[in-house]
Amino acid sequence: MFTPVGILVNSTWGTVGCKFTRSLMWRMGLFSKKPAPLAGAPAVRRIKSYAAESGYVYEYFFEGHRQWRDGLGRGVEFEFRVSAGREQWLPAAVVVPDRAVRAWEAVHARTLSSTERYAIAKLALFQAFDERAAPPETAVEVRVSDGGVEAIAERLGL
């Protein structure tokens, strides 16, 4: 993502000769805003566990999902809470971009259901746990790439 340098010096003109209006900058996602409320939260939170390849056992539960957008694309953000010891629960967001899902759907000539997207997000979270040598100390954000959707869908047998 780029930052319109002209804005930093009190000008609405960017370095590429483009005028940055307030509505253009908002559409590009350059203004922060309050995240949308979560949807799809279970009535009763079920704490589940996952033994990572690093040897740590993580506990997690699903908080819900929301539409996600940044300056470059859109998708669905799945929110989890994770802990490696129940003392501290950290937020973990897994973003499944629409671009990556559309690429998979174009190759396989079918659409992914919301349940399948959730499964992709959950396995991406597990993969992030496996890649870490130690539990995270701050919030976790995972973004699934085009190839990531393909690889995870293959693991799921989709």
The pTM of the full predicted model, rounded to 2 decimals, is: 0.74
Query: What domain range includes position 29?
Result: 1-33
pLDDT at 55: 87
More confident residue, 157 or 62: 62
Residue 40 lies in a domain: no
Q: Residue 80 above 80 pLDDT?
A: yes
- Residue 104 and residue 145 share a domain: yes
Residue 38 lies in a domain: no
Residue 93 lies in a domain: yes
Residue 134 lies in a domain: yes
- Residue 105 and residue 61 share a domain: yes
d(CA 96, CA 104): 12
Residue 119 lies in a domain: yes
pLDDT at 20: 52
Q: Calculate the alpha carbon distances from 90 to 12, 23, 53, 112 in Å.
A: 38, 34, 20, 29
Number of domains in the chain: 2
pLDDT at 18: 55
State the chain's mean pLDDT as an integer: 79
**Which ranges of 35-113 would DSSP assign to H, the alpha helix?**
98-108
- Residue 85 and residue 23 share a domain: no
d(CA 158, CA 143): 20
Residue 129 lies in a domain: yes
